[in-house]
Chain A
Amino acid sequence: MGDVMKKNILELKNISKIFPHPENPVVANNKVNMEIREGEIHAIIGENGAGKSTLMNLLYGNLTPTEGSIFFRGEKVEIDNPGTAISTGIGMVHQHFNLIPSFTVAENLVFGFEPTNKCGLVDLKRAKKITREISEKNKLFIDPEKKVKDCVLSEKQKIEILKILFYGAEVLIFDEPTAVLTPQKTKELFNVFFELKKKGKTIIFITHKLKEVMDVADRITVMRKGEIVNVVGKASTSKEELASMMVGRDIKLIKRKIKNPENFGKDILRINNLSYQDDYNIKRLSNVSLSVKSGEIVGIAGVGGNGQKELIESIAGLNNKKNISGSIEYNNIDITHYNSTKIRNHKIGYITGDRFSKGVCGSSSVYENLIMGIHNDDAYRKGIFINHNKLDELTNSFIEDYEIKLPSKDSIITSLSGGNVQKCIFAREIFNAKELIITEEPTRGVDIGAIEFIHEQLISKSKDGYGVLLVSTDLDEIISLSTKILVIYCGRIVGIVNPEEEGFENKIALMMGGVESVG
């Protein structure tokens, strides 16, 4: 048909990106070959860790490739910073907008490239004129004099788009553009895509929402574990097929590490109709209900950014409690509005994969990190004093039992490898937990030996009667460990799956891509 004759505006040849590391180098992109045709809307789908964002960062100059080359309209380009990308004609609209709240739309638009009058001062009148022209030309209507802090999210996104059009972008890259949009606004955004396409612009967008892909994209690239799995035209595929390509057909091959017991015990954690709106008034959780019984490992599967973080943080008391509705119960005690201090007093273990943003204190010693929370236990304190002798013994036992490799307990925790830091967090939190363990990304960035160890520990705790809530974007982990799997999509639980049931893998893929809702 017509597009067979269309030229490629972008070509990636043999692109690899390896993040160096003494123990665990990360191959984010592995010999990727990609062609983007001029004037098409091209979707890139894949789970977390597929390498989509890395690839786009390579195109935009935030990262440079370890090997391979990029061609723009047939000519090789070296994109080593966003400035070069912009002057080449590639623009990116980020998930987190780079706008100045106290400036107007026009001032933000021309920022960095302000038009000046004869005296060399910024010509605001011309800035407003430019804004009006570009916005009318592309049917992205917005008031140039409105202050950005008074703009809603969809308007802010419009400004970002206008900005890169102002810079002369021919290729526009969007990273999960509908994450913060309502269905209505999503429709409007897609109309914008169609308008831009009419003007000859090329659009690349990253998403995991398969329905959107089928609504808007011309061609789709599926990525998995740093490689291209397939490239298909919309007409020749379906949501279902995309779902199974995205998640991979080899789920069946994932080895189960746990066997579901006959019975489970009492409800340890019960969540009823939990909804949560963040400080920007975006609904992050909608009517989430679930329970974790003694002996269960409840796995929450889903692509990152669908509410997992908000769910765990709501339970842990780290969220703004004013924006929560619904209830969270721990052993029949209502903990919905408890702050983190009160939650910790109930001895709920909370293993986080956010190592250095909250799991440990980067500038403190291993010892100081290991004793957090335990220092208030009756057994390890003497009135207002910390019983350092007993804690010394305890932390030594942590290091031995969990085989943590470290120079000394007094060395700063950043001198340990990622896996060993995670083991420290693990040891501490398992000790802190009385009956319930909640965990997010427990093995992120951890070497295989430590992963095995952590998994064994979680399974053994569940056998001891603990309840475990496991949130992870690593589907292999969820499938191998969970007694029950819930899939979260756009802040809702869209289905429950028993991993020992026939055909569960198909259901999971569809739910993660938002194609199906069960119950």
Chain B
Amino acid sequence: MKKRGLDRLLIALGLALCITGIFIALSGENPLNAYYQLIKGALWGRSNLITTLRWSVPYLIASIAAAVSFKAGVFNLGIEGCVYLGGLTAALIGAYFQGLPPLIHISLAIFGAMVVSALWLSIPAYLKAYHNVNEVITTWMFTYIAILLCQYLVRNIFFDPTDIGSAAQQVRTPYIMEAAKLKQLFPPYQLNFSIFIGITLMIIFYIFIKKTRSGYDLSMLGTCPNFAKYGGINIEKTQFYAILVSGSIGGILGACEVLGVHHRYIHGFSNDLATLGIMVALMGRLNPVSMAIAALFMGIMQNGARAMSRVTNVSLDTVLIMIALVVILISAEEFFEIFKIRQRVKQSKKGES
């Protein structure tokens, strides 16, 4: 089963590369050169490799956030909102608490981000679990509200005082304390301690799904809801907590970006991290190890694309096309199943007559 999945993934990837190659050729560039620049920009040389890792980490965390809820069959689109809320919370705790040792300061900031995110999504979670209100709409709407709420709060209340009077006023908070910063691993590059947080989360996710009772309940609910109900799993509770946990991991992601990279909340700091995280989760089939590989792939794409667009005439969006194609083609493998079934039915009909 696993090997077959890998084959299919590689075929999907190959097809996506070919089709995107056509787009690249249409814009007047040589696809092979473009891909070469992409790989080179992502993996060749210390600085490129470190930057690629820096980008893989948030995608990994985002994918775990998405996977927790998707595995339960719940489509939580509210993670992006939690990234912002979590980032803001961490930025405020980071900036306004003084004299705390780093471990406590950082833990407090991350914890605060988790709590705020979970509280935020508790409303759509309750509506979905106990009143069957479609979560796709509610969580997506809450994301927009969250992002705009953060913008409002930062512009009007939590702005950086040194910004006033400057020519271009940006929507951002003051810098966080030194103690709250997640250390960079290879200064001056942005890859920081959050990679260990990401790996830890991945391990916890793996253990949760494979070894805990709630993990079993969650997987069964997502795979076979009727069987889960018949077997006595509490559907409402499981769905409710799936959304909350998913959101709080999104909060962790926001906190990591703020504490590790930007050292303050800058509005717009998350460029669709959560949405791409969902794609990574789907590419990785909601499986911790495959998601890590998919996250690395996404990191390579994002970093390499920037290099590619600097050196060639190919735009950054081309990479988005390719990623979208990969996701579509991987989902398309389900269509292959339908073809196969149709063939079988035809064969058996022929056999009958």
Contacts and interface: CB of A to CB of B under 8 A. Distances in A.
A217 to B, nearest CB: 33
A364 B348 CA distance: 27
Contact of B352 (A66, A340, A376, A412): A66
Nearest to B348: A20
A385 B212 contact: yes
B131 to A, nearest CB: 14
A361 B352 contact: no
A233 B213 CA distance: 62
The size bracket of the interface on B is: 20 to 34
B1 interface: yes
A363 B233 contact: no
Contacts of A345: 232
B211 A388 contact: yes
Contacts of B349: 64
Contacts of A359: 227, 230
A341 B212 contact: no
Contact of B227 (A64, A343, A358, A375): A358
Interface string A355-371: 00111111110001001
A280 to B, nearest CB: 18
Contacts of A316: 230
A381 interface: yes
B229 A386 contact: no
Contacts of A339: 234
A101 to B, nearest CB: 18
A345 B234 CA distance: 11
A385 B1 CA distance: 27
B213 A412 contact: no
A350 interface: yes
A27 B211 CA distance: 45
B353 interface: yes
Interface stretch (B25-33, B38-46, B216-224): B216-224
B212 A358 contact: no
Contact of A361 (B220, B232, B353): B220
B231 A344 contact: yes
B184 interface: no
B227 A361 contact: yes
A372 B227 CA distance: 9
A177 interface: no
Contacts of B223: 361, 363-364
Contacts of B169: none
Given A20-B348, A375-B213, A386-B212, A343 B226 contact: no
A345 B349 CA distance: 47
A86 to B, nearest CB: 20
B229 A340 contact: yes
A232 interface: no
Interface string A282-326: 000000000000000000000000000000000010100000000
A360 B223 CA distance: 11
Nearest to A362: B224
Given A64-B352, A412-B1, A340 B212 contact: no
Contact of B226 (A357, A363, A386): A357
A384 interface: yes
Given A344-B232, A359-B230, A364-B224, 19 more contacts: A20-B348, A64-B349, A316-B230, A318-B229, A339-B234, A340-B230, A341-B232, A343-B232, A350-B230, A352-B230, A357-B226, A358-B226, A358-B227, A361-B224, A361-B228, A363-B223, A372-B227, A384-B213, A384-B214
Interface of A: 20, 64, 66, 316, 318, 339-341, 343-345, 350, 352, 357-364, 368, 371-373, 375-376, 381, 384-386, 388, 412
Interface of B: 1, 211-214, 216, 220, 223-224, 226-234, 348-349, 352-353
15 contacts: A20-B348, A341-B232, A341-B234, A343-B232, A345-B232, A358-B226, A359-B227, A364-B220, A368-B216, A368-B220, A371-B216, A372-B231, A373-B232, A375-B213, A386-B211
